[in-house]
Structure 1
Amino acid sequence: MMAAMRSDETPAPDYAIEEQLTAAGATRVAGVDEVGRGAWAGPVVVCAAVTDMTVPPQGLTDSKVLTPRRRTAIAGELEGWVVAYAFGAAGPEEIDEVGMTEALRRSAVRALEALPERPDAVILDGKHNFLGDRVSSGRPWPVRTEIKADLRSVSVAAASVLAKVYRDTLMAGLGHEEYGFAANAGYPSPVHQETLKRLGPTPHHRLSWSYLDDLPQWRHLKKHRPEIEGQLSLI
């Protein structure tokens, strides 16, 4: 199936990947995407979304392509359109304890296990299967990794938008206005970086991140990173 073209020439996601999986026997496909991997503060959040493969809300695409206003509007439409969706998250303390790779895996498992019905196939954005094969139910999900799936798959695009709006709303509600969380969602904006230099990290900051190496007065707070894969979170 050829991807449709949006009015701005950005290819719209379609169901080509979902159709390949259903043709192979899957009856319920979940799109999975994460947000917050590269932030310095706040949780990493994973959303799992299941659709009925009907026409999605107009303008749906990767959340990063959308303006905040449009993203919020589409998320509102998606909430009543998708068959099911659920979130899983890991907070900064858990990220510091187990590393980003494991935190992503746990968040994805939590999201998938929170769905009302178990999907029998998962489309995961990216080239790495961070979901792995260890789940509390004892049965792993068949995973299809796809680079830029949030631009190509309707299910993953829906998960991308829902996860982004959910996490942005959560970050805006944390307070600490001087760090600019409502605007930067915990990512290293200039305001965020300058405030960190002056006031140091909050309880919402990840203390195993390398940004603390550049803050001599707060460097003593840095926690040991348990795995080298955690460095990927800074990319």
Structure 2
Amino acid sequence: MKYGSKELESFSYPDGFQRFAGVDEVGRGPLVGDVVTAAVILDPDRPIEGLTDSKKLSEKKRLALFPEIKEKALAWSIGRCSPSEIDELNILNATMLAMKRAVEGLSVQPDCVLIDGNRIPPGLAVPATAVVKGDLRVAQISAASILAKVVRDAEMEELDKQYPQFGFARHKGYPTKVHLEAIEKYGVIDSYRKSFKPVKLVLEKMVAK
């Protein structure tokens, strides 16, 4: 089964299925914002060149592939979990739920879902396989990783416009030194994941004052 990406490592698709959805997530590590997932069913008759792990692509290349994936895919969907859901469920369970939401949002039903990583979200209505390093091996997962990355990065840039003092456009919410210093200085806005340790520590200090 070919989907047009020479950059991908070899992968043997599970037997007995025709229509595969790839699922990936972006944003498990950041301190702020939603964890964003995507599900993509590619069209084998409309190959997309250059698919690979979104982290290995330049921002320019991701932005070029983003509309092409949406236009050529048989179906695509974005799923997410909010900071409050992450705080309630924990980041792993919230990621699994966001992946399930992405699959359920597809306008076309896949025969099999290929999940990046080593876990399968509970409650999926179709068979699923976990694929370690799937974004480097499976075109559908690569496409999903690109959609999720572009969507989440855009949301961080929007948040940066509202709160430029935090530098979200630069670090995308990850706990860099500059970001941690900004939280210490400016406090915590609603978009933060309050169960994450660096945020929790700042909130505890604020209460103690």
Same fold at TM > 0.5: yes
1:164 to 2:159 alignment: no
The residue number in structure 2 matching 1:84 is: 75
Partner-residue secondary structure (3-state), 2:180? helix
Residue-pair matches, total: 206
Range that drifts further, 54-63 or 29-38:
54-63
Tell me by how many angstroms 1:176 deviates: 1.1
What secondary structure, in the 3-state scheme, does the structure 1 residue paired with 2:184 have? helix
Secondary structure class of the residue paired with 2:49 = coil
Residues 1:119 and 1:15: Cα distance change in structure 2 (over 3 Å): farther
Partner of 2:23: 32
Q: Is the 8 A contact 2:184 2:202 kept in 1?
A: yes
In the superposition, the TM-score normalised over structure 1's length comes to 0.79
Find 1:184's aligned residue among 151, 160, 171. Answer: 171
* Residue in structure 2 matched with residue 98 of structure 1 by the alignment: 89
TM-score by length of 2: 0.88
What's the % identity of the aligned pairs? 36
Post-superposition CA distance 1:9-60 (Å, at most 9, x none): xxx126744xx33xx2223210000000011000001100001224633322
Give 3-state SS (helix, strand or coil) of 2:52's partner: coil
Moved over 3 A (4+): 14-17, 212-221
Contact 1:213/1:219, CA 8 A, preserved across alignment = no
Q: Is the 8 A contact 1:15 1:154 kept in 2?
A: no
Distance in 2 of aligned mates of 1:99 and 1:189: 21
Residue 58 of structure 1: aligned partner: 49
How much has 1:194 moved relative to structure 2? 1.2
Contact 2:5 2:139 survives alignment (8 Å) = no
Distance 1:68 1:163 in 2: 13
Contact 2:74-2:108 within 8 A present in 1 as well? no
* Kept after mapping to 2: 8 A contact 1:126/1:149: yes
* 1:13 aligned partner: 8
Gap runs ≥5 in structure 1: 7-11, 222-235
Whichever residue aligns with residue 154 of structure 2, its letter is T
Distance 2:22 2:10 in 1: 11
Secondary structure (helix, strand or coil) at the match of 1:59 reads: coil
- Runs of 5+ unmatched residues, structure 2: none
What is the DSSP-based 3-state SS (H/G/I as helix, E as strand, rest coil) of the residue aligned with 1:202? coil
Map of 2:193 onto structure 1: 206
Structure 2: distance between partners of 1:15 and 1:81 = 22
